[in-house]
Structure 1
Amino acid sequence: MDGRRTTVRDMRRSNRSVILTSIYREGPLSRFELGHRTSLSAASVSNLVGELLEEGVVEEAGSVESDGGRPRVLLRVAPRFGYVVGAEVGETRVRVELFDLAMNVLSTMVYPIETPKPEPALAVKLVLAGLAEVLREARVAPDRVLGLGVAVAGIVEGPGDAVVHAQTLGWDAVPFGALLAAKTDIPIQVDNGANTLGQAEMWFGAGRGATDAVVALVGSGIGAALVTGGSSYRGTRSSAGEWGHTTIMYGGRQCRCGAQGCLEAYVGAEGVLERFQAENGGTAAPGADEEEAFTALLDSAGTSKVAAKVVEDTIGYLGAGFANLVNLFNPERIVLGGWAGLLLGERYLPQLREAVGKHALRQPYAQVSIELCSLGRDAVALGAATLPILRLLREGGVPPTRTLAARTH
C-alpha cells in the first residue's frame, strides 16, 4: 500500500511539473491549451491548475476569445511567488543579480577582481556579499528566495556538493557548493558558466526553438553548452563542453590549462591580447582592464596592420573551432555569446560564417545557422538564476526545504 501511495504521489508531482513547465516556458496558456500540449485529461488539468492557483504558484493573466464559447482564462507563473538569485564568478569580476520569476532584474551588484586567479574563499565572500546586498536593496526577505545559482569556470561535479575543477583558476577539487552552503540557508546550485549561458539562451534567447544546438561562450576563456534532442549533454561526469581545450594547433601556444595548442589560447580574450602584444613589439593594447584592452584592439584594427592581422587570425581560429562543432555534432544552430564573443560577432559575424564554411563539411554546414546571443553580455548570471527555477519546475512548484546553515559570519 505504501508503494502504491508513493507511486500516486510521484505521478501527481510529475503531472504538476509538466503543467507548470508548459506554463512557464510557453505561457500564458489557457487550460484548453494545456490539455493539448500535455496530453492530460481536462479533469486532470483543471484539478492540478486549481492546486497551483490556490498555492499561489500560478495566477490568471487575462483572457482570450474562444470559438463560440466563453473567453478562455490565461495562466502564468506568478512572478512574485518567489525570487531567484544568479551569480557569475568570472576572472575579472563577480556579478550577482536578483530576479523575480518573470526574470525581471530587481537588483545587481558587481565586484571587480584584481587577480585573474581568485582564491575560492574570495569568490565565496564576494558572492555572499552580493547576495546580501541585492536582497537589501530590493527589500526582499531571504526566506522568499527559492535559490542561489552560481556560474563558475571549469568542470562542476554535483549537483549536491558542487565540487569545482578549474585548472585555469588553480582550483583543484574545490568544494565550492559546500563552502557557500556553510554560510547561508538559501539553497545553492553551482554549474559551469557556459552551461548556464546555454540554458538562458535556449529558454529565452537565440537558441529558443532549436532541439540540437551549441551555445558558445567566448570571454577570457572559452566553453560551450551542448544541447541534443532538446536536452543538455554533459558527458559521464559533467565535463562535456570544454570546447576551449580542444586542440586547434599541434604543438602550438601554451594554454592556461597547461596543454599546448588549445583553441582558448588563440581565441580567448587573454590569448588574443597576448598574441597582439607579442606581435606588437611587446606593447600591449591600452585599457584599464581586459575588456577595455580587447575593445581597443578591435577599434584599432582599421588603422593598425598588427591589430588587423591579429583580429583576422582570431576570426579564422574561431571559424575553425566552430567548424569542428559542425562536423562533430551536426547542430541546427550555433549561438555565439560571452562578452568577447559578442564584441567579435557584432563586428565580424559575416566573416566568421565564411570562415566556418571554409573548414566545415558542406552538408552539415548548409544545415546550421550561426547567430549571436540575444540576451547580452551579462546573460551568464541570468542563466545561473534559472537553476533554482528549473528545480522548482521539476518539483511541480514545491519550494525546496531549507536547512539551517552553520553560520560563521
Structure 2
Amino acid sequence: MKTADPELMRAINRFHVLDTIRRAGSISRVEIGERTQLSATTISAITAALLDDELITPHHEGGLRSDSNGNRGRPRVMLTLNASAARVVGAKIATNRLVFVVTDFQGDILAHLTLPVRVDRLPLPVVADLVEDGVRRCVLDAGLALADIHTVALAVPGVVEHGSGRVRSSPVFRDVDVPLATYIAERLGIATIAESDANAMAMAQHWFGRARDCDDFVLVSMEEGLGLGVMHGGQLFRGARELSLDLGHMMMGVSTVQSERLSDIASERAILDGEHADLRLREAMRVGRGMNHVQRLLAEGDDGFTATASRAGEALGIAIANLVGLFAPPRVILVGSSLALGRSLLDPLQASFERALSAPLREVSQIIIDEAGDELWARGAAAVALSELYGSPWSTTGPALRSTL
C-alpha cells in the first residue's frame, strides 16, 4: 500500500491548524484538537513551530483555574494569528478594470485600489505594466514597501493552470497560454500565483462571505465568461494539471446541425452581442458598462433584452441542476455582473432549475444570490495566497516559495 507523502501531510495539518485559529480568532490547543481531530501530540508540535516562527501569538485567559479536586492550575493559554506575520496582494483582472487589495496574515484589508481601464484591448506587456503599477501603488497606500509583501495572487476569468501560473484562455488576453505568474513575478521580484476568478471568489465566500460555515459548496461566476468553483472539504477542487473549471464549456445541445455551449447563451458577452439600436448601449459597451445599461433598458421594458435574459436564465437553471446532480452541494452561490439583469434572469433560472432537478435532489441545495463587490474578488485572490502560506514550512528565511516556472 502506498503511504501518504509526509511533507504533504504536514502541510495539510499546518493549514488546518492555522485556518482553525483564523476562524476562531482566539482558541486553545484543546479546542483546536476538537475541531481538527488531530492528536494532541501533532497539535503541540505544529503550534510550537508556529510560535517559534512568530506566526501565532499566545495569551492567557482568566486567572488561576481549579479542577474538580480543588487543585489549582495555570490560566488557559489561547492562541491567535499574528496578523503582521505576512502581507499579500490580491488582484482581480477583469476586461474593464483592475482591482487590488493588500491584506495581512488573517486576510484583513490594509489598502485597496481600483483602476478602470479596458484591459482586453491592450497587449500583454501593457497589461503587465498596469498590474505592476497597481501592485506598487496599493502596497504604498498600505504604508508598506514591496519587500514587505510575501505573495501576489492574480484572479483572472477563463481557464487557469494554477500550478504553473499559466492562463490557458481568457477573455482578458488576446493570446492563449499566457505565463502570467512568471511574467509578473519577474517584474516584481515576488512569488506570484495565477488563479481563476471563480476559484478566488469561492475562497472569498468560504473565508469571508456566505459560506464561512460551509466546507462544501459550488460557486457559479456569471461575468465575461461563466466560471465554476467547487469547494470540497474546505479545499478547492481543481482538475488535471491543477486546471480551473469553466462552466461555459458545458454543452447545452449537440446535433449534426448545431451545437451550443452554455457560454454561447448565458455569458455576459453572449447577452450583449448583436446589433443594438440604442446608441447609449453601444457607448456603454465600449467602456465596459454594458450590463449596467441593459439593466436600465429592462427596467424600461425592453422586450428584446427580456427575451435574451430569460433564455440565459433557463440555460443556467439547467446547468445548475446538472451541477447539483453531480455534486449534491448544500449551497450553490451565484455571483457576477450578470446579476444586474435581476428578476429577468433569476426567475427563469429558478423555474428551469426546479423543472430540471430530479425529485430526490429537490431539498438538497439552496441557491444563494450574492451581488459581491470587486473588493471581495480581490480579497479572495489574497485568500488563495494566504492558504498556500498557511501550508508552507516556515523558518527564519520565511515561507517556502512556490515555483512559477
Same fold by TM-score, threshold 0.5 exceeded?
A: yes
How do 1:389-404 and structure 2 match up within 5 A?
389-398=386-395, 399-400=398-399
In the alignment, is residue 313 of structure 1 matched against residue 317 of structure 2? Answer: no
SS in 1 for 2:128: helix
1:308–1:18: structure 2 CA closer, same or farther, 3 Å change rule? closer
> Would you say the 8 A contact 1:17–1:396 is kept in 2?
no
Where does structure 2 lack aligned partners over 5 or more consecutive residues? 68-73
> Would you say the 8 A contact 1:339–1:378 is kept in 2?
no
Partner of 2:284: 288
Shift, 1:66, TM fit: 11
1:203–1:235: structure 2 CA closer, same or farther, 3 Å change rule? same
Counterparts of 2:245 and 2:342, CA distance in 1:
20
Letter in 2 for 1:126: L
1:286–1:204: structure 2 CA closer, same or farther, 3 Å change rule? same
Partner of 2:321: 323
1:48–1:348: structure 2 CA closer, same or farther, 3 Å change rule? same
Shift, 1:146, TM fit: 1.7
1:311–1:52: structure 2 CA closer, same or farther, 3 Å change rule? same
1:144–1:300: structure 2 CA closer, same or farther, 3 Å change rule? same
What TM-score, normalized by structure 1, do the two folds share?
0.82
State which drifts further: 33-42 or 384-393: 33-42
Counterparts of 1:362 and 1:294, CA distance in 2:
35
Cα shift readout 1:136-191 (whole Å, capped 9, x = no counterpart)? 1222122221210111223222424x222115433222221221121122111111
Identity of aligned residues (%): 24
SS in 1 for 2:202: helix
Letter in 2 for 1:165: R
Partner of 1:108: 112
Counterparts of 1:170 and 1:217, CA distance in 2:
21
Where does structure 1 lack aligned partners over 5 or more consecutive residues? 1-5, 253-258
Shift, 1:225, TM fit: 0.8
Counterparts of 2:28 and 2:345, CA distance in 1:
43
Shift, 1:283, TM fit: 5.5
1:38–1:330: structure 2 CA closer, same or farther, 3 Å change rule? closer
> Would you say the 8 A contact 2:159–2:245 is kept in 1?
no
Counterparts of 1:378 and 1:34, CA distance in 2:
31
SS in 1 for 2:251: coil
> Would you say the 8 A contact 2:227–2:248 is kept in 1?
yes
Shift, 1:329, TM fit: 2.7
Cα shift readout 1:382-406 (whole Å, capped 9, x = no counterpart)? 1111122112111255533579x9x
Letter in 1 for 2:261: C
State which drifts further: 126-135 or 209-218: 209-218
Partner of 1:261: 260
Shift, 1:34, TM fit: 1.7
Letter in 2 for 1:382: R
State which drifts further: 144-153 or 101-110: 101-110
Partner of 1:32: 30
SS in 2 for 1:285: helix
> Would you say the 8 A contact 1:120–1:176 is kept in 2?
no
Partner of 2:355: 358
Shift, 1:358, TM fit: 1.7
Counterparts of 1:81 and 1:184, CA distance in 2:
20
State which drifts further: 111-120 or 315-324: 111-120
1:401–1:35: structure 2 CA closer, same or farther, 3 Å change rule? closer
Counterparts of 2:342 and 2:326, CA distance in 1:
22
Cα shift readout 1:242-295 (whole Å, capped 9, x = no counterpart)? 11121224479xxxxxx96222222222211225xx4x5576636535653312
1:131–1:307: structure 2 CA closer, same or farther, 3 Å change rule? same
What TM-score, normalized by structure 2, do the two folds share?
0.83
State which drifts further: 185-194 or 61-70: 61-70
SS in 1 for 2:243: coil
Letter in 2 for 1:379: L
RMSD of aligned Cα (Å): 3.4
1:330–1:10: structure 2 CA closer, same or farther, 3 Å change rule? closer
1:266–1:15: structure 2 CA closer, same or farther, 3 Å change rule? closer
Counterparts of 1:273 and 1:66, CA distance in 2:
67
State which drifts further: 37-46 or 175-184: 37-46
